[in-house]
């Protein structure tokens, strides 16, 4: 009998509940994600100016707990990305990206670090999308 040369897929990582907020805590959220996060460093004009580094969360795993009424919206260019900011403190805890409209880009610095084991950084060429 011939041996199989294909390796079994690694098991899906166990998900934990990550919690986070804007600076003034008017906007609170949580999402289910792995303890080892991948953060995206994007070079589009707005991410570059905000120095935003985010992790992508599927919409089905994201929950806004408080503060929908405290969010204000900014769009530009194609108006597909929805940049949401707290009206009180101005922090962008999360936004909806143009390239992943079915999910949320959560600002890693807004996540409570207690549930994070590691963070790996990947780059995204958002400048080419503008």
Across the range 104-120, mean pLDDT stands at 98
Tokens 């120095």 correspond to 51
Rounded Cα–Cα distance for residues 57 and 106 (Å): 7
Residues 6+ apart with CB under 8 A from 8: none
Q: Which residues face 116 on adjacent strands?
A: none
What letter does residue 111 receive in the DSSP assignment?
B
Given a contact cutoff of 8 angstroms between Cβ atoms, the answer to whether 27 and 67 are in contact is yes
Helix (H) or strand (E) holding 33: strand 28-34
Count how many residues are written for the chain: 130
pLDDT level of residue 3 (50, 70, 90 thresholds): low
Across the range 15-34, mean pLDDT stands at 99
Across the range 52-79, mean pLDDT stands at 96
- Residue 25 phi, psi dihedral angles, 5° rounding: 70, 15
Helix (H) or strand (E) holding 104: strand 103-107
Predicted local confidence at residue 86, as pLDDT: 99
Tell me what the pLDDT averaged over the chain comes to: 91
Across the range 104-110, mean pLDDT stands at 98
Stronger pLDDT, 48 or 33, i.e. the higher one? 33
pLDDT level of residue 81 (50, 70, 90 thresholds): confident
Given a contact cutoff of 8 angstroms between Cβ atoms, the answer to whether 112 and 19 are in contact is yes
pTM of the complete model: 0.86
Enumerate domains of the chain plus CATH numbers. Answer: 16-129 (2.170.150.70)
């Amino acid at each position: 009998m011939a041996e199989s040369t294909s390796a079994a897929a690694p098991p899906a990582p166990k998900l934990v509940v990550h919690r986070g907020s804007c600076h003034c805590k008017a906007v609170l959220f949580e999402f289910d994600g792995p303890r080892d996060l991948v953060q995206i460093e994007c070079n589009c004009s707005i991410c570059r100016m905000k120095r935003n580094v985010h992790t992508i969360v599927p919409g089905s795993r994201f929950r806004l707990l408080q503060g929908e009424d405290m969010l204000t919206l900014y769009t530009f260019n194609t108006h597909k990305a929805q940049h949401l900011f707290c009206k009180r403190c101005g922090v962008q805890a999360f936004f909806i990206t143009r390239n992943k409209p079915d999910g949320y880009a959560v600002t890693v610095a807004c996540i409570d670090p207690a549930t994070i084991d590691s963070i790996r950084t990947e780059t995204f060429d958002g400048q080419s999308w503008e």
